[in-house]
Structure 1
Amino acid sequence: MVMQRVLIELPESVYRQLVRIAEETAQPIEALAAQSVISNLPPSADNASPELRLELLRMQTLETEALFEIAQAEVEPVDYRRQAELLEKNESALITESERQELSELRQAADQLMLCKAYAWSILRWRGQRVPTLQELSTPQ
């Protein structure tokens, strides 16, 4: 990995904390600072499809409220019910080719929604917002 040098200014309290951790763990302060930056970068969209990649990158510019809306979005009930119906038909091998295509499209839309939700939560976390636990997410409000 090629390394680049960056000069940054840190608040005194942050610098003292890095120094203390470096001394206590016998690690170079530069390594701790780099580790902190790496672990706090926004999520990468590099592995997404080109169309979805653009959407994910656009999400990084959204306001916090808009990201919370995406993070809390759900599959439309009508689409959820239709997908369940088609999955049942698929298991019994009574599904037509057009229904198989519809099922594939519904599954792809649901997968894309879940990826956008996860990405929104990742951006929110990166921005310092509290991310609820799985239990909190699955408990009705």
Structure 2
Amino acid sequence: MLVETVTLQIPEILYQRLVNTARATQRPLEEVILHALQTGSPPEWDDVPEEFQADLAALDKLDENTLWQIANSGKTSAEMERYNTLLEGNSSGTLTEAERLELMALRHEADLFMLKKTQAAVLLRWRGHRVPTP
């Protein structure tokens, strides 16, 4: 196989994401860059609301085992029951101010939870793993 050397200027943010992936996967940077050229750049996270971007960006630095834990994580039945109770109270207009604030916090937490699960799965796929769809 013939090999060519190329000097290329890339945006700092993309370079850093490739470096983070190389460290997290314990692979040489050159191998990660070649993979990116063959399959495309790492999955984006900048199209989600700004309040979640830092949490999603942090996933780039995680190793595969940690990403698998996030991708396979779930909420407990107690957490889901409380959330559903608050949703029902909200629908019927019976929530106290404290419960409304709790519901808002739980909704934010649920959004972040699902975004992280999805991003972890997408990163695992990008890194070459087979990730079953639910």
Q: Into which bin does the TM-score normalised by the smaller protein fall? A: 0.5 to 0.7
1:7 maps to 6
Structure 2: distance between partners of 1:103 and 1:38: 44
The TM-score, its normalising length taken from structure 2, stands at: 0.66
Q: Measure how far apart 1:91 and its partner are.
A: 1.5
Cα deviation digits, residues 73-121 of structure 1 (max 9, x gap): 1123322111111111112111112111111111110110000000000
What letter matches 2:102 in structure 1?
E
Residues 36-55 of structure 1 aligned to structure 2 (within 5 Å): 37=37, 40-50=40-50, 52-55=52-55
Contact map agreement 1:70 1:117 (CA 8 A) in 2: yes
Cα 1:103–1:125 shift into 2, 3 Å: same
Equivalences, count: 102
What letter matches 1:7 in structure 2?
V
Are 2:92 and 1:92 aligned? yes
Structure 1: unaligned runs, 5 residues or longer: 1-5, 9-35, 135-141
2:80 maps to 80
- More deviation, 73-82/42-51: 42-51
Are 2:131 and 1:126 aligned? no
* C-alpha RMSD of the superposition: 2.3
SS of the equivalent of 1:60 reads helix
Structure 2: unaligned runs, 5 residues or longer: 8-35
Cα deviation digits, residues 36-95 of structure 1 (max 9, x gap): 848632111223455532222221121111000000111233221111111111121111
What letter matches 2:44 in structure 1?
S
Contact map agreement 1:75 1:110 (CA 8 A) in 2: no
Structure 1: distance between partners of 2:60 and 2:51: 15
Structure 2: distance between partners of 1:80 and 1:68: 22
What letter matches 2:90 in structure 1?
N
SS of the equivalent of 1:58 reads helix
1:110 maps to 110
Give the percent of matched residue pairs that are identical in Structure 1 and Structure 2. Answer: 37
